[in-house]
Amino acid sequence: MGIQAKLALLLMLIVGLVSSHWYVYNAGNRNGTNAELVKSQELQLSQLIADKEAVIKRVVQNELIVADLAFKNKQENQTHAQEILAIRTTQRSDDAKRVRFNKVFVCGPGTAGQAEGAKAGGDGQADSSEGIFPESFGRGLSHLKSDAEEVAADLRSLKRSVEDAGCFQ
């Protein structure tokens, strides 16, 4: 074997060693990079799983809150309906009553005994300091009173609902 053959063989051996080292280095580098990537992906995956579990837990809590608020809302609606029914029943019974007023307060002092009822055929209130409004006027006042009470009942109901929901606390 000649010197040229030996040099050629040595050159091929050197090229083979360098290329194999290059391949091993790149493979190791790729494996290391992949290992770090796998670790970061595992961290991300564990975080996503924790987030998912937290969201599921919160959804269950929200469903319980919704069910509780629905129950409270149903009770509040029943209470509100009973309040409105009581107001309207009172208003119907008040429709049959005449509304009285203090003549001295309305007409001023010194005019209480000068009512028109002193005449013959009057309503017999000449000696009284109390007067009676006409039926239509009294009924109108009664309706206004019941409307105001219904609005107050609506506002009380809304206030209880807002407080039960935990708003503005």
SS3 111: coil
**Which ranges of the chain have pLDDT less than 70?**
105-106, 108-128, 168-169
Could you tell me the pTM of the whole model?
0.50
Exposure string of 109-148, with b = 16+ CB inside 10 Å and e = fewer, is eeebeebeeeeeeeeebeebeebeeeeeebbeebeeebee
**What confidence tens digit (pLDDT) does each residue in 126-148 have?**
556 777 878 888 888 888 888 99
* Residue type present at position 88: R
